């Protein structure tokens, strides 16, 4: 925990980045279900990319 000396705003941003990284890592390893069609899989990938873009805009 090297960021304990930082102010609350910066600590929040660093923790938010950490959470986003974990979510994206999970979504990257999300397997394609055998029942899921390619169109549904592309929708999930599109939603993941939109989520990443919105997180980057927030920062």
5: left (phi over 0), alpha (psi -120 to 50) or beta: alpha
> Does 44 map to a domain?
yes
Q: What is the mean pLDDT of residues 14-43?
A: 75
> Does 2 map to a domain?
no
Quote the domain boundaries for residue 23.
8-28+38-58
**Lowest-confidence pick of 5-9, 14-18, 34-38, 52-56:** 5-9
> Does 54 map to a domain?
yes
> Does 13 map to a domain?
yes
What b/e string do you get for 6-17 counting C-beta neighbours within 10 Å, with b at 16 or more? eeeeeeeeeeee
Note whether 15 and 6 are within 8 A (CB): no
Higher per-residue pLDDT: 29 or 20? 20
> Does 16 map to a domain?
yes
Report the number of distinct structural domains present in the chain: 1
Q: Which pTM was predicted?
A: 0.44
* Angstrom distance (rounded) from CA 42 to CA 40: 5
């Amino acid at each position: 925990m090297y960021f304990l000396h930082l102010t609350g705003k910066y600590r929040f941003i660093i923790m938010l980045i950490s959470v986003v990284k974990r979510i994206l890592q999970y979504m990257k390893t999300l397997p394609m279900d055998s029942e899921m069609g390619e169109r549904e899989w592309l929708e999930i990938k599109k939603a993941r990319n939109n989520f990443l873009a919105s997180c980057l805009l927030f920062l």
